[in-house]
Structure 1
């Protein structure tokens, strides 16, 4: 007598799955609590259309193959069965006799929980039972919609190396909630962005070699512990973004690759199905069941874990068929071009479905080329992302700051070039983990000069990033001036916070976040020219820049009768040299007193405390009809001014 029983899967579920449009397919496939004829156990279902046989094997039968068969479900390619008596947390794998008769053991693609690495079996689990406490947060997110006109500053975190226990072990999700959330809230960031938390076998991959797309990594606890982390972030007023990897997956024999002995999730042709840089497989975006796997996975994190947005890794590698390939190593599309039409279609559908089902959820693309319209709506031909990482700004800005100040006058165009395209996309300005690894050095160590000048340069860099149009992202450790390059095998150098100069860096960033949130001119029009105006970008000889951030009156929507009144303008001035400049004149929008609301050279930040006694009056200088400010510019510093009588 068979130890498993057949189960029915509704035809409509199979129909939607075959079309690639079953958004909750993870509740159909995989392992789920089930009752049949009064008996409780687990139902198993897997898509393996080219398998000869499929069996469940696990610790419940000493991993013997052939005792717990799954049964074909119509002609869908899905196999399913019911195993009575199985309980929560049981380890299991799927034993598949492939098309050639070989038996291969695979982990469940839809597993909700998995063994802690280096083991890789799945665990029977459940999606139900957690009681959320973030109803108000989720309601507000839906009502407010996308945060294009709100302050967004993102703290990027690798959960395994932000902080470690005294014995070197990982903090759990609950311990991260206890320590990380109040830290980020005190710094004033609006969001935490987690590097991939989907289960992955190799610590050194940082999560980008995903093995279990539906299972939060067991390194830090159980799935409900991760739900609790997100819940507590929302309770503290912090959004959570998740790094997601639909561009490639590892070749581990026990995972997705050659799942039923054939190229099921990937293309069979290595020119389409293998990534030359990372030694991984590339998803077959033209296959409905594969698209459904990925689409449902993105929705899964948004629905089941209340994630506030997804950052998609390596979008450029998905868009181009010849990405990192030489002539003859790639297959053109049906029109002879190099665009991956199937991947483009997938990304558009992904963004459409996410924004339709979860209003207010953010979709972010790490896209490193000049592909047009990445963050433009689908109805105008865009890809439909909310934001795009501004990689050009990042590269140019870091290149400029790495130069000795004496040479910066010859490269001011490197710094200002970003404004030529700043409003072509909805940009995020990233100083991410990629810029502090692989010999690139930590942000602070990239800065030239002695230690004082390095720290002054870093404060200046943060001020320029926060003042520049666009949302903000900073990788952990930058906020207090980590000297060493990031390594996933340890923790940040928290001992540095015992030193006043590093405390000053943190205080500087905290004040920049406060100004970003409190001043409408600093975030309302991050993606429009009307939020920015140059005052002077031509004084390359002095390496000084000045501009306005603006918030003119506007209607919240085309249909709204309400007009939001103009907010005070903010004047920003940057001195990229260590020379104090007395009586430096810049244009002012109008007369009156202007209050100094930020000075990165302040003594509380570790600076030399050169400034303008807290305020300065705009005057007609040298017979000019226009208003001007005569300022003392501190060395390697940024200053911000606001009308003294403004609200």
Structure 2
């Protein structure tokens, strides 16, 4: 062996050699095939012919290079071999990672470098494959500025010298194929920065599994062994998730929907939720479940909104395939699944993405762009094509690999504006001198374009709290391209109105009515989400004025108003039965409250609201179009207002009337456009909801008395603090 070779051996032993594939494995030297192995825990190493099982050569320990073994063979051509290691009286066989060629091809490297690899998760991360006739796991990670990247785990005693990876081309990707490593293998990456200094050990940005927190390593998970049973749902999804279909979402934090007190208060697993949560949501008549983020995250108190393992369903509730079982169960029950997705920021935990290769790789270098002052998190550098590719690939991954039906994109406002939550001088204007984050806007447009092009029938939903125009307008029409937008203004205004004492509501009538004036400017979802039951806000029931029965009557009237209002619906768990305290992510929601008739009545109402909503085209078909709505009356003094909802054929309109005072109104005339019988489809004061039982005996026939611009009218009983809905009975044709 030359002096140069001996120098490389010494660097291998010290852990400072960054090109091990040039030395380790099988190489031709002076016309003969030679084998070099590094294993500092072995006393002896022998090369074994994989075809015959016979010894090829005993490798010789190298002087001044502890752990390096080398030998020439009597062969002139490359051959397949394995290694037999001996330590004391112990002996074991293993494959040699350094006898295998690269897995990634030139096209992969080109697309990765260009930031346009739409199946990036299929190339980076850990993949169980057959390579050159050997079963094992291929690992690949992007770290363009690292001097050395190593794979570490129990399989190599967490020794970063043992499995240094191969740097491929100019894409900045490092890879290695590890024979024999299988599903369940725990691993991390050890990196040296460009000065050769060791960095904190990193989890795999593309890891499909992770250890239970507080442990932080990644876990190999096989993406290709699950047998999906949701073909019928996937074929029909496109018809179910259009804007002219009913969408009623039950928002859930899996860790606190239901816990088992007898088992150390543990949350339900994915498999238990596939049985219990799915059956409950189906019974309640919701069309979709929305999960707070399920990507792996280190801190329970973030509720998942500070994720590190974007590609790993959290192990808190089970494995990757058990999560898929939950998705499958949703679909087989006819329920869509939406997950909250967080591309806006990531936490500073040392094992995460921050300064991944010793440089600000995923985040902006300038803290005025790359650091979020409210959440103390890093902000992605959307102007870097590889970072956009990472995030877009993640969106596609959840939909392709896990059959997720929609993404609710968190904190979009924080992405759109460079001065979000920043004082003057604490932010950097864009190239045009403005406050808009043009790179983030481009990222959101590109994400929505690619997601909708890639998968049939999916939806994206923006949590966007400003007046940014065109959030749910298609990209080719000048918008951001989301399918829907959360109507945060509606939520704030209407809750503020409902908090008022009914005596004072007439002075705030504009708050309850204002949402009608812009209800069709976007494709809206009306959200009463987890954000409204945390941080000292109490519960939705807490917001209602009055005591006892009056508080519940207010809540029921409000829910009736919400389901009658244009826009899709979203309700956070516990709110469907009127939980009376703030949500705590460490505890179950208050299921015991259902022993009380008032709470049971709210739950029954929500179930019926969902049923009537789904059965009544006028309440959803033209949700996002102004021609589906007409305001009939808005009486501030009485806190009474009424509106009409229309179906596409305008044959069976629905009249919604709200009375937000505790005064019942007999003989109250409300105008309608059609003569005939109007059936009372829902009354929030009904006795089955624990209300007072005032109503209209099942329906009313319109009189030829014009009221408020309508040619006919109904003489109604409006119960106190109530919402009533009437559907026109179209004559048979």
Q: Distance in 2 between matches of 1:39 and 1:10?
A: 18
C-alpha distance 617-254 of structure 1, shift in aligned 2 (>3 A): same
| 1:630 maps onto 2:726 in alignment | no
The one of 646, 654, 674 equivalent to 1:550 is 646
The one of 525, 537, 548 equivalent to 1:451 is 548
Superposed displacement of residue 501, structure 1:
1.4
Superposed displacement of residue 586, structure 1:
1.0
Tell me if structure 2 keeps the 8 A contact 1:91–1:122.
yes
Residue in structure 1 matched with residue 249 of structure 2 by the alignment: 154
Tell me if structure 2 keeps the 8 A contact 1:4–1:70.
no
With 381-390 and 117-126 compared, the bigger mean Cα shift is at: 117-126
Q: Distance in 1 between matches of 2:254 and 2:132?
A: 44
Superposed displacement of residue 224, structure 1:
0.5
Tell me if structure 1 keeps the 8 A contact 2:519–2:566.
yes
Superposed displacement of residue 43, structure 1:
1.1
For CA contacts below 8 A with separation 6 or more, give which structure has more relative contact order. 1
Q: Distance in 1 between matches of 2:124 and 2:681?
A: 56
| 1:341 maps onto 2:425 in alignment | no
- Cα deviations by residue, 1:341-361 (Å, 9 ceiling, x for unpaired): 110000000000000011210
Q: Distance in 2 between matches of 1:198 and 1:32?
A: 19
The one of 665, 670, 680 equivalent to 1:586 is 670
Residue in structure 1 matched with residue 232 of structure 2 by the alignment: 136
Residue in structure 1 matched with residue 174 of structure 2 by the alignment: 79
Superposed displacement of residue 622, structure 1:
8.7
Superposed displacement of residue 64, structure 1:
1.8
Structure 1 SS opposite 2:340: strand
Residue in structure 1 matched with residue 690 of structure 2 by the alignment: 606
Tell me if structure 2 keeps the 8 A contact 1:546–1:586.
yes
Structure 1 SS opposite 2:259: coil
Q: Distance in 2 between matches of 1:567 and 1:90?
A: 61
| 1:642 maps onto 2:642 in alignment | no
C-alpha distance 625-308 of structure 1, shift in aligned 2 (>3 A): closer
Residue in structure 2 matched with residue 615 of structure 1 by the alignment: 699
C-alpha distance 488-589 of structure 1, shift in aligned 2 (>3 A): same
Tell me if structure 1 keeps the 8 A contact 2:652–2:730.
no
Tell me if structure 1 keeps the 8 A contact 2:671–2:706.
no
Superposed displacement of residue 101, structure 1:
2.2
Superposed displacement of residue 15, structure 1:
1.2
Structure 2 SS opposite 1:51: coil
Tell me if structure 1 keeps the 8 A contact 2:137–2:178.
yes
- Cα deviations by residue, 1:21-68 (Å, 9 ceiling, x for unpaired): 111111111111133343322111111011010111111122122111
The one of 107, 130, 152 equivalent to 1:12 is 107
Superposed displacement of residue 645, structure 1:
5.0
Tell me if structure 2 keeps the 8 A contact 1:377–1:383.
yes
Long gaps (5+) in structure 2: 1-36, 39-95
- Give 1 or 2 for the bigger CA radius of gyration: 2
How many residue pairs align between the two structures?
Answer: 633
Residue in structure 2 matched with residue 175 of structure 1 by the alignment: 272
Tell me if structure 2 keeps the 8 A contact 1:145–1:359.
no
Tell me if structure 2 keeps the 8 A contact 1:158–1:194.
yes
Tell me if structure 2 keeps the 8 A contact 1:481–1:502.
yes
Residue in structure 2 matched with residue 558 of structure 1 by the alignment: none
| 1:36 maps onto 2:36 in alignment | no
Structure 1 SS opposite 2:266: coil
- Cα deviations by residue, 1:302-341 (Å, 9 ceiling, x for unpaired): 0000000000000000000111111111111111111111
Long gaps (5+) in structure 1: 554-565
Superposed displacement of residue 145, structure 1:
7.2
Aligned positions of 1:356-371 closer than 5 A: 356-371=453-468
Superposed displacement of residue 146, structure 1:
4.5
Q: Distance in 1 between matches of 2:383 and 2:706?
A: 68
Residue in structure 2 matched with residue 439 of structure 1 by the alignment: 536
Q: Distance in 2 between matches of 1:8 and 1:569?
A: 62
The one of 321, 324, 328 equivalent to 2:418 is 321
- Cα deviations by residue, 1:485-517 (Å, 9 ceiling, x for unpaired): 001011101000111211111111111111111
The one of 467, 470, 480 equivalent to 2:564 is 467
TM-score (norm 2): 0.85
Q: Distance in 2 between matches of 1:35 and 1:626?
A: 75
With 521-530 and 165-174 compared, the bigger mean Cα shift is at: 165-174
